[in-house]
Chain A
Amino acid sequence: MNVAVDATKIPAPIFERSPGYWSSVFRRFRRDPVALFAAAVVGVLVLMALFGPWLTPADPYKSSMLARLKPIGTEGYPLGTDELGRDMLSRLMIGARLSLFMGITPVICAFIIGSSLGILAGYAGGAINTVIMRTIDVFYAFPSVLLAIALSGALGAGITNALLSLTIVFVPPIARVAESVTTQVRSRDFVEAARASGADAFTIVRVHVLGNVLGPIFVYSTSLIAVSMILASGLSFLGLGVKPPEPEWGLMLNTLRTAIYTQPWVAALPGAMIFITSISFNTLSDGLRSAMDVKQ
């Protein structure tokens, strides 16, 4: 038996392909029970919003003068009824659609606009940075609630205008975060090395900057979804957003406030939904942040 081993016959050592960045983020996220729970709640809410019309036990628009303001647990109305005798459970389920839509859409729009502006300002630096960032600072002069109300009031009531004003409210903070992350990444040597290899600014941003900045901006943006929902609810509450009889949590909270003494628990339900949703989104974004925070 020949003891010498033919070097070419030795099997290549099997190394796992290193997990990519996102799969390692996912792995860490899975180990965080609180964030997982929040993700599950958000998942249920999204499913409820998507399939609400097929799941509701009753017609959310059908009112009944005889069944007004029934308490929680009444037969046929598991969560009671509102001031017009409409089934609260069904209205809350359908309300998830508009509330989530009003919460998420402005943030997505603001994410696209804000991160573009911020990355441009952060990478270009100099005069371009000054122009963009000082313009954005102007918006910081107003508290966000006031700004949303003022814009909505000026544009007129309605869902589209509410979405538009919320988007404008969220562009400045997202742009600011994007700018600061980009400035930080731009000063790293790998960007210098990319410049030294002769790449143009657009290629460097696309290949080297985006991958390193979008994560943190995304995490920050998810935390704004809760704020957006609350602001949208506030606009509806003031009559600047969704119009009755559409079920939307903020609007429901408004119309039920007269019943706060007769049926306090029922009146509090839309508020509870807003609370649960916003805390879930916040916890989710916290979990994402810590999962993405790679200590090296």
Chain B
Amino acid sequence: MSADKPGRPKALIEVRGLVKHFPLKGKKADDGRAAVVRAVDGIDFTVYERETLGVVGESGCGKSTAARLLMRLLDPTAGEIIFDGMAVGSRDLPLKEYRRQVQMVFQDSYSSLNPRMTIEDSIAFGPRVHGVAARESVERARDLLSRVGLEPRRFAERYPHELSGGQRQRVNIARALALQPRVVILDESTSALDKSVEAQVLNLLLDLKEAFGLTYVFIGHDLHVVRYVSDRVMVMYLGQVAELGPGEALFGQPLHPYTAALTASMPTMDPDNRTEEAPLAGDPPNPINPPAGCRFHTRCAAAEPACAKQVPKLGSKVTPHAVACLMYEPGSGHSRAPAVQEAA
């Protein structure tokens, strides 16, 4: 493979039209068809090599489902994932090989470790599955333990319940790295930790990314944390992508009203500049019967009649900053939309 030009990083994971609907037993939707929860409803995005893609959104917006789809712990209803130019699950890239390249760290550090196994055995399990000799797997596990800041001599033979939450999450990170993956999906991996411990683990993650040349998909709900670690950020709302762009641009000048509301809700460090009222009222609508048109129009301050009819497309391929909102879609019918430009 030829060397990539700087500024044009290589696309490592391409997600095309990914959909996951969970059927609801015995229930009918309003249109009479079997009811489904539209957890992820058609998302497209690209993860570039060695970047950190942050994913944010409210609870139930489909972040975790997207992570499990990306890991193929769930089978997508539709859509495809292309890893390094090869379709996942095809003959070129069987699932087992894909799973060696892409690993995941879960939120619940306790539940993600087998309570009956020493942490060393838990870490060595992955390499063993992929045919690495027992002795070498254990050596790799001990090496990784020291890389994540746990002295192997003290910790290797301990059981998960003997460790603190932060230590366990370090073990989970080591376990994910044991297969020498290129991508690590961090699904709220630091959200359950104390702030001070979270900061340590975040810095560890950044160090490891540097050391191993990793690519991260970082899912979180703490916008400060996501902003701190991410190169680019994807904002999800009700199973769809609302906005996707470079972290600074997205948090600095949010385009989508939803992103604007999210960033406005971030607690500020400046006491003179406090947020006095919640910028976003109510809960997101039910993903079984999402609103027609733009899914956000029921809560959007800038909503107009057009928003209830027309579905916004995730637009603008020119700049790296893409947004799905009629206000930015030429000729959409929204009063603030730019005029249609005639093709030259």
Contacts and interface: CB of A to CB of B under 8 A. Distances in A.
A196 B125 contact: no
A296 B125 contact: no
Given A190-B112, A192-B106, A199 B159 contact: no
B73 A194 contact: no
A276 to B, nearest CB: 35
Contact of B114 (A13, A195, A208): A208
B179 A197 contact: yes
B160 to A, nearest CB: 8
A21 B159 contact: yes
Interface in B66-114: 71, 73, 95-97, 99-100, 103-104, 106, 108, 110-114
Nearest to A187: B111
Contacts of B104: 193, 196
Contact of A198 (B99, B112, B116, B118): B99
Interface stretch (B150-158, B245-253, B275-283, B292-300): B150-158
A71 B103 CA distance: 76
Nearest to A17: B157
A30 B71 CA distance: 45
A18 interface: yes
A102 B116 CA distance: 33
B99 A18 contact: no
A15 B108 CA distance: 27
Contact of B108 (A20, A189, A195, A212): A189
B114 A212 contact: yes
A296 B108 contact: no
A203 interface: yes
Given A18-B159, A189-B106, A196 B113 contact: no
B73 A192 contact: yes
B111 A188 contact: yes
Nearest to B106: A189
Nearest to B68: A192
B114 A190 contact: yes
A194 B161 contact: no
Interface string A222-255: 0000000000000000000000000000000000
Given A18-B118, A18-B162, A198-B100, A193 B154 contact: no
Contacts of A127: none
Nearest to A22: B116
Q: How large is the interface on A (under 10, 10 to 19, 20 to 34, 35 or more residues)?
A: 20 to 34
Interface residue range, chain B: 35 or more
A195 B116 CA distance: 17
A12 B153 CA distance: 8
Nearest to A189: B112
Interface in A206-226: 207-208, 211-212
Interface in B99-155: 99-100, 103-104, 106, 108, 110-118, 122, 125-126, 129-130, 153-154
B111 A189 contact: yes
A188 B99 CA distance: 19
A211 B112 contact: no
B321 interface: no
Contact of A199 (B113, B116, B125): B125
Nearest to B179: A197
B182 interface: no
A211 B73 contact: no
A211 B100 contact: no
Nearest to B126: A197
A192 B111 CA distance: 10
A256 to B, nearest CB: 49
Given A189-B112, A197-B99, A199-B129, 12 more contacts: A13-B153, A15-B153, A18-B157, A18-B158, A189-B108, A190-B113, A196-B99, A196-B103, A197-B179, A198-B95, A199-B126, A208-B117
Interface of B: 71, 73, 95-97, 99-100, 103-104, 106, 108, 110-118, 122, 125-126, 129-130, 153-154, 157-159, 161-162, 172, 175, 179
